[in-house]
Amino acid sequence: MHLDLTEEQSRIKFSVREFAEAEIAPHVMAWDEPQQFPLELQPKLAEMGLMGIIIPEAYGGAGLGYIEYATIIEELARVDPSVALGVAAHNSLGTNHIFMAGTEAQRETFVTPLARGEKLGAWALTEPGSGSDAAGLSTTAVRQNGHFVLNGNKNFITHASYADTCVVLASTDRSKGTHGISAFIVPTDTPGFVRGKKENKLGMRASDTASLAFVDMKVPAENLLGRENEGFVDALRILDGGRISIAALSVGIAQGAYEAALRYARERYAFGRPIAEFQAIQWKLADMATQIEAARLLTWKAAAMKDAGRRTTKESAMAKMYASEMAVKVAEEAIQIHGGYGYTKDYPAEKFWRDAKLCTIGEGTSEIQRLVIAREILRQP
């Protein structure tokens, strides 16, 4: 694989960087402190083509590949991880699940307005009692008179408070465990769709995370997404791509934290000279830069394989696990380089650290990634 971006990919990278620095950077803490979801940003993201990055142009998307997608998410996360997370969740999960598993009619009805940024998407798998243990999913969908009736609760759902369209995973045959789970496309104005508590979070505070409830919610049978009882099989395919975006998000967080630390090390004087001249600081910066580059290459490898139509279960898990854990370490070192100032909200290091931790948890914890990687390598002869 090529280890550098093409001219066109570089152009996309720097156009997104300019956008992030002009439209997002001035508002980062104003959104973070009150946990304000920046709805006003959605039309601007749509104008940039960032609401349908990996969706073909025929359905209103930008028609780009996963290398471009990873680059875009990284550039957004370098400035504000909350915005990057929102863009990733909208693209990789809700919108992409409908595109990958949906019928032509479903794509035209639901994917096109999502990819154009006219509507916002959510993806609801996690529940109060089942996260990593998907077999413990308790939301049910019962077929009745041309409808499915859904009852249950979801937790930690990105965009739950604002989404227009939600993909919901529910059990249609509890006796089959994960092989009895189906997916449904649910407009959020459907009677019985109840938006619940918004979470008060450590980081990613400008990204909306809330609970959902479904109370005798009738969903037309034609809104079944994919084949009945195979929703979780499709969800695993969606997560393979989603984990690439979380890896890219992690790389962006680390890059932002590293750049802040590098800047500070050049400007901060101690004992009569910039602290960047001290070996203790230089070695920290060297380790940070090396770890970021390693994570970026793992992410690009998974993205290139995805673009080539290859299965990326192992590579996506490796990239996500390594990059997320790396981001936490790099962000923590950025705080250390800042010293006491790193512990204040006057400098960006503390926010990158708070935001980074979610990446080791969301879309499969580091522990789950290790299980996935081990399972994949043990399958090999």
The residues carrying an active-site annotation are 363
* Residue 26 CB partners (closer than 8 Å, separation 6+): none
User: Residue 41 half-sphere exposure, CB side, CA atoms within 13 Å?
Assistant: 24
DSSP 130: B
**Residues 101/105/109/115 CA torsion (nearest 10 deg):** 50
Q: Which residues contact 232 (CB under 8 A, 6 or more apart)?
A: 134, 169, 178, 179, 181
Q: What is the DSSP letter of 199?
A: P
First to last CA, the chain: 24
Q: Would you say 147 and 221 are in contact if contact means Cβ atoms under 8 Å apart?
A: yes
Residue type, 9: Q
CA distance 314 to 34: 38
Six token digits for residue 235 = 């969800």
Overall residue count recorded for the chain in this entry: 381
Query: Hey, is 191 helix, strand or coil?
Result: coil
Name the DSSP class of 166: E
Strands 147-158 and 181-187 turn out to be unpaired
* Tokens describing residue 286: 């060297």
According to DSSP, residue 157 is labeled E
d(CA 167, CA 89) in angstroms, rounded, equals: 12
Contacts of 289 by beta carbon, 8 Å cutoff, 6+ apart:
258
Q: Is 35 left (phi over 0), alpha (psi -120 to 50) or beta?
A: left
CB atoms under 10 Å from CB of 303, counted, come to 27
Bridge partner residues of 269 (DSSP) = 274
